[in-house]
Amino acid sequence: MRYDDQYQQNNTDQKKYKSKSWIVPSILGMVIGVILFAAVLPSLIRYDILPYQIMLPESAHQQDHTTSDDNVSSIVKPMSVDISTQITEIVKKVAPTVVGIENIQSASIFTEEAGKESGTGSGVIYKLQGDKAFVVTNYHVVDGADQIEVILSDDSRLPAKLRGSDLFMDLAVLEMDRDAIEHVAALGDSDHVKVGEPAIAIGNPLGLDLSGSVTQGIISGKRRAIPQDFNGDGRADWQAEVIQTDAAINPGNSGGALINMDGQLIGINSMKIAQSSVEGIGFSIPINDAIPVIEELEKNGQMSRAFLGVEAYSLEDVAQVEWTRSLSLPTDVTSGIYLQSVEPRSPASEAGLATYDVIIALDGEPIKNIIDLRKHLYQKKKPGDQMVVTFYRDGNKQKVTVTLTAQEQ
């Protein structure tokens, strides 16, 4: 037993000795490697052999007398960063086409407010023709103005003439001399915008002190129908069809530009939901809907629309349980519009239409929602035309012919 113990002890000592025998050569090799690398490093830097760049500290400059300041500066190459982006390029191109609008209203000569500025907004230069330039803005921006001034991106001011305006679409067209105008907005296609795609709003929020402000967001929704009450009676007089965006739109942005990532005008900024509990919900008039109105305002100064005389809402705005319980619709009716009210002595009233009738077709074309109604009425019909209305009342399908009149402005 004692022999075995001695053997194990001796054998263990030998193993320890062998395991430590490599340490000294390894340390010596590392030291020699570091010394050699330190000696060769300046030459590697000088001849730019390293795959990366090293900036020598000031002490190294002083110790290496063979390396001049010129050589060191050639080794350390400056870095330039281009911060220009697609958005900055778009803004650079479009911003000069977005202008400020000043609404000046005259008062009595016996008051101190004669010629006082009533409000400011934004506009977009969309057309040059002959010696004139044309600007589109919102109706509410220039409503009641006795004088209108357009403020260009270089802060110069030009007098403008109101060519025409339309309350329902909230659009107005201004005309001014084109001498100082160099840029015109490129028109896009609002029918092809996609929910989620980026959008840029340019305008003058809170007045001209913040002119040319740029905000960015996305297209939050398309074809939103927003009820509007013009006479303050608590009942909707119109439903605006708009693009929804979360790009910041504030008072003063009205009439400004909503731009896509191709730098094209896809909407005229018009309104926002101003509630303390709501954030990032702004609306813009689609340019495809605005163009026919703009063209007629240029030509005639006002819009001539066919008038039916109903307050209508889409069936999709009503709980489906009410479709059968309150409106008595058959189960195969899945879309349409119901009449909330019918104006006395209107074309609809004269033809026999009544409250809670559900219209499903006009001239044989299916009507799925309020947008379809407006498109058919305002794009395919004129005052004096007749229109066949297919509707349900108390579960019975009926038809009447309506003779349309002109809508009063």
Higher pLDDT, 155 or 8: 155
pLDDT in tens, 67-85: 444 443 344 445 444 445 7
Residue 158 falls in which region: left (phi positive, over 0), alpha (psi -120 to 50) or beta: beta
Q: Catalytic: which of 211, 213, 220, 254?
A: 254
Q: Are strands 405-406 and 198-203 parallel, antiparallel or unpaired?
A: unpaired
Q: Give the rounded distance of the alpha carbon of 24 from its chain centre.
A: 72
To the query of whether residue 153 is one of the catalytic residues in this protein, the response is: no
Annotate 293-306 with three-state secondary structure.
HHHHHHHHCCCCCE
CATH topology of domain 86-177: Thrombin, subunit H (2.40.10)
To the query of whether residue 84 is one of the catalytic residues in this protein, the response is: no
User: How many Å apart are CA 333 and CA 319, to the nearest integer?
Assistant: 14
Which residue type does 181 have? I
pLDDT in tens, 313-369: 889 888 888 998 999 999 999 999 999 999 999 999 999 999 999 999 999 999 998
Give the burial string for 328-366 (b: 16+ CB within 10 Å, else e).
ebeeebeebbbbeebeeebbbbebebeeebbbbbbeeee
Please report, to the nearest 10 degrees, the dihedral formed by the alpha carbons of residues 137, 138, 141, 147 taken in order.
50
Q: Is the pLDDT of residue 122 over 50?
A: yes
* The CATH number, out of the four listed (2.60.120.620, 3.40.50.11900, 3.40.50.1360, 2.40.10.10), of the domain defined by the range 188-300: 2.40.10.10
* DSSP secondary structure letter of residue 236: -
Q: Catalytic: which of 122, 140, 211, 289?
A: 140
Q: Assign 136 to helix, strand or coil.
A: strand
Give the burial string for 273-312 (b: 16+ CB within 10 Å, else e).
eeeeeeeebbbbbbbbbbeebbebbbeeeebebbbbbbbb
Q: How confident is the model at residue 299 (pLDDT cuts 50, 70, 90)?
A: very high
Cβ count within 10 A of residue 143: 16
CATH class of 306-406: mainly beta
Q: Assign 2 to helix, strand or coil.
A: helix
Q: What is the pTM of this model?
A: 0.65
Residue 280 falls in which region: left (phi positive, over 0), alpha (psi -120 to 50) or beta: left
pLDDT at 188: 95
Q: How many CA atoms lie within 13 A of 42 on its CB side?
A: 15
| Same CATH fold assignment for domains 188-300 and 306-406 | no
Q: Catalytic: which of 122, 165, 166, 170?
A: 170
- Would you list the domain boundaries of the chain? 17-75, 86-177, 188-300, 306-406
Q: Give the rounded distance of the alpha carbon of 230 from its chain centre.
A: 25
Question: What are the backbone dihedrals phi and psi of residue 63, each rounded to the nearest 5 degrees, phi first?
Answer: -75, -35
To the query of whether residue 140 is one of the catalytic residues in this protein, the response is: yes
pLDDT in tens, 184-219: 999 999 999 999 999 999 987 666 666 768 888 999
